[in-house]
Amino acid sequence: MPKLRRKLPMARITSFLAPALLSASLLSPHHASAQVDEQTRKLSHDIFQQLIEINTTDSIGSVSAASKAIQQRLLNAGFVPSDMYLGGPNDRKENLVVRYRGTGKQKPILFIGHLDVVEARREDWTTDPFKFVEKDGFYYGRGTQDMKESDTILATTLIRLKQEGYKPDRDLIVAFTADEEGGSSNGVDWLLKNHRDLLNADYVLNPDGGGVDLEHGKPVSMDVDATEKLYGDYQLTVTNPGGHSSLPVPDNAIYHLADALVNLQHYQFPFELNSVTRAYFDRLSTMETGDRAADLKAILQPTPDLEAVARLSKNPEWNSMMHTTCVATRLQAGHANNALPQMAQANVNCRILPGHSLAEIRQQLIKIFDDPKVTVRYVSDAGEVFDTAPDREQLPPPPLNPQVMAAVEKLTAKFWPGAPVIPTMSTGASDSVYTNAAGMPSYAVSGIAIETNDVRAHGKDERIPIDSFYRGVDFYYQLVKMLSGGA
């Protein structure tokens, strides 16, 4: 996760494209074609291929192999061993941290990129997910969208800058890490706990989110995830002595569980905005027209109009940005057709707004279910079940970083003219949760443009448009320079 692209309603897209802009985009290519030279193209292609073809799944893959492949390339490019750290909790989950030394005029920037990928089965795919396949203008392979394309871009950028002899005005730290998608050895978490000094930075850029949304080839927005929701699973369990189904009694495990879930179905967590979602809806309110614009303005008032909230909440994306959500995702109960159930169990998956902890939401769920027979336990990311939930929370978002926003604005105008830069809250979750919690404001910035209906991260036949990849290579190179005094 995440790479959740925000699907914008069509009305919005057409309404904010000024007529002049629309016609201009029809007359000329709406974005400049990738500017990368042949050498950079080959370098990034080769790294991309190499990373895709190293299986980094949790089940049988090795993140270490990918870390070492990048390390070797960096050594070949002139990075010294003392500016690199390779390590992790076990020999399959080694992370790589590299430091590109600058003059120290500004505090370092930390870039993070997870190397692990979601499982992929050959029989589900048209191509071999662990072969880098070029087809119909796309590169196919597991991780082409999430996020080996961005790992490649980070590695390529480092090598390019080194070969140029570029001297940044600050250290550039890049951490390539394990177990973002699952597993029990999250690399960012592990590095922060064991080698915090290697990661200290002014702020963090994480290309595992954000990016350019395309609609029929037109760039409609550049999203910068400036905060994100917190992920939490809760396990509901009801147990019962059971008995013969010919002699039912009112006290039934399935009914208890079902009633609890119906309570949840009818419950709406409170409406709440933070600095990022407020800026997002504010921006949206100027792009929309009519009733929708009025509703958007109404929710931004000091006393928000809750009827407007209800109308806008019919859009699942907006609903998720305005509320903590909890939804039943799994159910199992009973052991025989002719027996009263001895156990009924469900999983409820929550996406929690910044500022609320896993423990707090568990307490709230207990109130919502309102049934002492329903036990509510917390399920960790590694699948372990606990009687209580941790106090962990996503901190409320820090103010947007003006330096980052200005650079992204400038480059977006150059690469995807007309596309507004929109600060967003990811409704998914990424490794930024750890860096944010460590006090380093973290932003998901990506120069990858993807059709909103072609998001294949975690899915089958994952692919990236070839052109989009090379433009992303160029975008990040220019971004890094811009943020480190080079442009």
Residues that bind Zn ion (CB under 5 A): 146-147, 208
Minimum CB distance to Zn ion, residue 182 (Å): 11
Closest CA to 9 of 185, 244, 213: 213
Closest among 52, 51, 139 to 468, alpha carbons compared: 139
**Distance, CA of 110 to CA of 39 (rounded, Å):** 26
When the beta carbons of 8 and 115 are compared against Zn ion, the nearer one is 115
Cβ 229 to Zn ion shortest distance, Å? 15
Q: How far is the CB of 188 from Zn ion (least distance, A)?
A: 12
Strands 203-205 and 442-443: parallel
Nearest CB to Zn ion, comparing residues 113 and 168? 113
Q: Which is nearer to Zn ion, 148 or 292 (CB)?
A: 148
φ, ψ (nearest 5 deg) of residue 199:
-105, -5
Which has the closest alpha carbon to 454: 225, 219, 213?
213
Q: Which is nearer to Zn ion, 146 or 213 (by Cβ)?
A: 146
Q: Compute the least distance from the CB of residue 113 to Zn ion, in Å.
A: 9
Min CB(208)–Zn ion separation in Å: 4
What is the largest distance, in Å, between two alpha-carbon atoms of the chain? 82
Choice between 208 and 295, CB closer to Zn ion: 208
Q: Rounded distance, CA 284 to CA 306, Å? A: 18
Strand 230-239 relative to strand 375-379, pairing:
antiparallel
Q: Whose Cβ is closer to Zn ion: residue 188's or residue 368's?
A: 188
* Nearest distance, CB of residue 299 and Zn ion, angstroms: 30
Minimum Å gap between C-beta 14 and Zn ion is 31
Q: Residue 136's CB: how many other CB atoms inside 10 A?
A: 8
Question: Please, are residues 452 and 214 in contact by the beta-carbon 8 Å criterion?
Answer: yes
Please, which residue, 146 or 461, has the CB nearer to Zn ion? 146
Nearest to Zn ion of 111, 281 (CB atom): 111
Strands annotated E in 58-128: 84-87, 95-100, 109-114
Taking the complex as a whole, how short is the minimal distance between the CB of residue 150 and Zn ion, in angstroms? 9
Which residues 6+ apart lie within 8 Å of 159 measured at CB?
A: 43, 73, 74, 77
Residue 3 falls in which region: left (phi positive, over 0), alpha (psi -120 to 50) or beta: left
